[in-house]
Amino acid sequence: MLSAQETLDTYYLEARRDLLEIAAFLDRYDRAVERDGAKAGDESKRESLLEAAKLLSQPDHPQANRAEQLLVHFAKIA
């Protein structure tokens, strides 16, 4: 198994890439809203992602089960 430092060093760039993709996706949505002059009729997917981001931004997860929590959270979206 990897040490804490090895874990960070091994996966940091991939996590950075994935966050950039999410940021770009949210920007893409905002530009579409601006272009169309209207929000999506159902914004629940966007709201769900922003809620998920809040969960990730909490530094302490003693059970190290963020993925499990997110899956439970996303299951609320049809």
Partner 1 sequence: MQIIQPHYHAIARTAQDYERMAMSGVVAVCEPAFWAGYDRRYPETFIDYFAQISEFEPTRAAEFGIRHFCWVAVNPKEAENKELTDEVLRLMPEFFNKPNCLGVGETGLHKSTPNEIESLQAHVDMAMKHGQLVLIHTPHLADKAHGTKTVLEVLAGMDVDPNRIWIDHVEEQTIESVLDAGYWAGMTLYPVTKCSPRRAVDILEKYPTERLLVNSSADWGPSDPFTLQESIVEFRRRGHSLQEAIEIYHNNPCRFLGQNPKWDIKPIVCSES
Residues that bind partner 1 (CB under 8 A): 13-14, 17, 20-21, 24-25, 27-28, 31
User: Chain-centre distance of CA 11, in angstroms?
Assistant: 16
- Min dist CB 51 to partner 1, Å, is 23
| Residue keyed to tokens 């979206």 | 77
Question: Which of 17, 54 has the CB closer to partner 1?
Answer: 17
Distance CA 75, CA 48 (A): 10
What letter represents residue 59's amino acid? P
Question: Which of 22, 72 has the CB closer to partner 1?
Answer: 22
Question: Which of 18, 68 has the CB closer to partner 1?
Answer: 18
Tokens of 20: 């950039």
- Min dist CB 27 to partner 1, Å, is 7
